[in-house]
Structure 1
Amino acid sequence: MISKKLQDAFNKQINAEMWSANLYLSMSYYFAKEGFEGFAHWMKKQYGEEMEHACKLADYLIVREGTVLLDKLDVVPTGWGSPLEVFEHTFDHEKRVSKMIDELVELAVEEKDKATEDFLSWFVSEQVEEEATARSIIKKIKIAGTTGGIYLIDNQLGER
């Protein structure tokens, strides 16, 4: 059985993952409106991944006899500037999510819950990948500049 403290923290994270999903969906629609179909596709895939993360956390909570409490989600931004600004926002957001996951792990250690600590190791690895991917896209966009190179990156991300 999971502790009340961990249950509450998991519920907070589940709702944060769902907010992240909405953020990426909003970014997807923004990119589609701006004519970047590849970036839009990539962000829609991110939306799906974030929802999967929320469900994975909720499923674990249920297995550990916890209660999932879904809360209302705050409004997400709907407009950005350039593709570079969007991906810089993405990178900053993923760093915040990494910090939240680290705090969950620390709480599991504090609660002496080895099963939860082990479960969360997947999320730690996932966040390393998420940050590296966002950082890589930012580097590519900076190299491409505002010329036609940005459309090559857009096409590349559309193949995800």
Structure 2
Amino acid sequence: MLSKKMISLLSEQVKNEFESAYLYLIAADYFHSEGLPGFASWYINHSKEEVEHAMIFYDYIHRNNERVQFFNLEPTRTIYSSLTKPLEDTIVHEDFITTCINQIYEVAAKEKDYRTTNFLTWFITEQQEEEENAHANMNKLNLFGNNPAGLYLLDKEMGNRYGKHNKGE
């Protein structure tokens, strides 16, 4: 049985994951406008991953015979003006998500909610990967982004990480 506090924290994480998806769509939109379809594809696919994460939390709450508490989404519409800013925002946001998941884990451990701590283990590992990817993307852009040929190749690499986001492409 999940405590009221745990239901609230897990529900809040559903919201956080949907906000992540929205943030990544904003970045994808920017990269499309800059003629960087590989970066856009990467962010679109990452947005889809974040929706999947939200649904995993949603399903977990329901598998424990509880109802999700819905909160208003509070995404901000960022207007990007540089290639590095979306990547910087990604790093900051992934750090935030890691902190949120760690806080949920801490509460679960304190409550001796072993089922939830076990559930969160996958997300802890996933967040390490998310942070590593965010930093790697920034490092590569810093290394190659000022060279048009380097940026072109990096855009191709970004697009190949997930494959095309749209079957029509």
TM norm structure 1: 0.96
Residue of structure 1 in register with 2:146 after alignment = 146
Amino acid at match of 1:121: T
Contact conserved, 2:7 with 2:69, CA < 8 A, in 1?
no
Residue of structure 1 in register with 2:126 after alignment = 126
For 2:131 and 2:75, locate their aligned partners in 1 and report how far apart those are by CA, in whole Å.
Answer: 23
Q: Structure 1: where are the runs of 5+ without partners?
A: none
Kindly, what percent of the aligned residue pairs are identical? 36
Moved over 6 A (4+): none
After superposition, residues 1-160 of structure 1 pair within 5 angstroms as 1-148=1-148, 149-159=150-160, 160=162
Amino acid at match of 1:53: H
* Deviation readout 1:97-140 (Å, 9 max, x if unpaired): 10000001001001110000000000000000000001111111
For 2:138 and 2:40, locate their aligned partners in 1 and report how far apart those are by CA, in whole Å.
Answer: 16
Amino acid at match of 1:157: M
Amino acid at match of 1:88: E
Moved more, 63-72 or 110-119: 63-72
Q: Could you tell me how far 1:81 is from its partner in structure 2?
A: 2.5
For 2:75 and 2:53, locate their aligned partners in 1 and report how far apart those are by CA, in whole Å.
Answer: 20
Contact conserved, 1:22 with 1:76, CA < 8 A, in 2?
no
Aligned with 2:119: secondary structure? Answer: helix
TM norm structure 2: 0.91
Aligned with 1:158: secondary structure? Answer: helix
Contact conserved, 2:28 with 2:40, CA < 8 A, in 1?
yes
* Deviation readout 1:43-94 (Å, 9 max, x if unpaired): 0011101000000001000111121122221133232122222111101110
For 1:150 and 1:76, locate their aligned partners in 2 and report how far apart those are by CA, in whole Å.
Answer: 27
For 1:121 and 1:30, locate their aligned partners in 2 and report how far apart those are by CA, in whole Å.
Answer: 33
Moved more, 81-90 or 56-65: 81-90
Q: Could you tell me how far 1:26 is from its partner in structure 2?
A: 1.1
Contact conserved, 1:20 with 1:50, CA < 8 A, in 2?
yes
For 2:83 and 2:126, locate their aligned partners in 1 and report how far apart those are by CA, in whole Å.
Answer: 23
How big is the alpha-carbon RMSD for the aligned residues of Structure 1 and Structure 2? 1.0
Aligned with 1:15: secondary structure? Answer: helix
